[in-house]
Structure formats: C-alpha cells, structure tokens
Amino acid sequence: MASSRPRRTDPDARRPLGVHLREFRNRLILAVIGIAIGAVVGWFLYEPIFEALQRPILQAAEEQDALVTVNFAGLVTALDMQIKVAIFAGVVLAAPWWLYQLWAFVAPGLKKREKWYTVGFLGTSIPLFVGGLALAAWVYPRAVVILTGFTPEGGTNVLDAQMLMTFTMRLFLAFGVAFVFPVLMVFLTWAGIVRTRTWLKGWRWAVLIIFIAAAVLTPTPDVFTMLTMAFPMVGLYFAGIGVGWLRERKRPSLEDL
C-alpha cells in the first residue's frame, strides 16, 4: 500500500526565476564591493606592483642592449594606469570573497547533504587561482623577453603603458580563472549533473577546446605562453576526472543522465 506521507521537496528548487535573478544581483553587488575594497588596498600598493611589472622590461633592455621602456603617452595616462593597477590588485586580493559569492549563489540548488561541498570547493578554488597567478608570474618576464627580442637591431621598443597593463591583466586573470575550471568539473560530477564517463568520452574535444581557449585567452602570440597554459589545464582536466571517479565509486547509485 502506497504511503500517504507527503513527499519532501527542496524549497530552493521551487524558487521563481525572479528570486534567482535577485540572488544573482545581490551576490554580484557583494562581489563588486569586495573588489572595490581590495582596489583601495591596491591603490597604495601601486608602486611595488608597477616596479614588479617593469622589472622584466628593464632586464630585457639590458640583455638586448636596446631601448625598451614604458611610455606614458598622455596627460592622464599615469593616473589611469594607477587606477587599473588598483582594480587589478582588487580582483586578486578579493578572490576568496568573489569565489565565495559564486559558490554561495550555486549552493541553494544543491541538496541539503551536498551544501557542505561549497566549503571544499572554495578551499580548492582559492589555491588553484593563486597557483594560476603564480604560473602567470613565471610566464610574464619570459614572455616579455621573447616578444621584445623580435625588435630589429638598432630599433627601439617603446611600450604604451595602457597596452602593457591590459596585456598583464589578461595574462594573469586568464591563468587564474583557467585553473579554477577543474573545480567546476568536480562540482558538476559530485552533484550528479555530469557523469565521469561523459568527461572521459569527450577528452579529445576537451583537449582541443583547451588549446583553442589557451590561444584566445593568452594575450601573447607566442606558442610558449599558450603551451604553458594549455598543458597544466589538460593535466587538471584529467585530475578532475580522477577526483570525480573516486566520488562515484563511493556513490554507485548516482543516477545516469
């Protein structure tokens, strides 16, 4: 005889679209506030950050015995440069906060027993994001040397400050965000949205997409920078598959999608 007991449903699953949009707006506002606070700190860190960005350029000029320098080509360029550096520093310093807002937005869609995943994924995302930034810091001076090395003998390479900052921000943020992607993979697997075998079957397409993404995201045209991003991403992709597989072994009843 069928039980007359009412079926329990997650109240978050019945939330209307308007509630989700308001939640997204609130989380976005909180993330922006955190970045703004980080930018205030970054404003006072402008000089050491700019010196670190300029150091490889001065080193390239010394090694190549050529004029390689940063040029501030406008009246407000120096101020604009400092603002961009501050915002960039704010994004980096506030990474734990805006990553938390991302996972906090996703968490209501999980089952109650799965909401603790947010803590684990946040604890993994932050080191991976920092690891991506560290790899970008290793790539940046080498990319500067490679690219300025194409300057013909006797020529000069006057780098526009605005373009240099745009180049640097894209490089660092591309590496940082790319390294967080495997965490999203594991999240989708553990939540039962995508099976491990689905990731594994599509590994050829995944590798192709990773290399294309690395070519698009990296602001430099050299193969060295692209491969430096692509190879770790491929390794993290298969690592994500491995972590998801370990979870599925403990939960063999995971429904096929």
Reported as a single tens digit per residue, the pLDDT across 174-218 is: 888 888 888 777 777 776 677 777 887 878 888 888 888 777 777
Per-residue pLDDT tens for 25-71? 888 899 999 999 999 999 999 889 888 888 888 887 777 777 777 88
Name residue, tokens 């807002």. 101
Q: How far apart are CA 235 and CA 151, in angstroms?
A: 35
The pair phi, psi for residue 106, each rounded to 5°, is -80, -30
The pair of three-digit structure tokens given for residue 219, joined into one six-digit string: 């602001």
Whats the size of the chain, residue-wise? Answer: 257
Chain-centre distance for alpha carbon 9: 35
- Spell out the residues 6+ positions from residue 138 whose beta carbon is closer than 8 angstroms to its own: none
Are 106 and 112 spatial neighbours (Cβ–Cβ below 8 Å)?
no
Chain-centre distance for alpha carbon 117: 20
Q: How far apart are CA 135 and CA 131, in angstroms?
A: 6
Chain-centre distance for alpha carbon 68: 30
pTM above 0.85, yes or no: no
State the amino acid at position 5 in one-letter form.
R
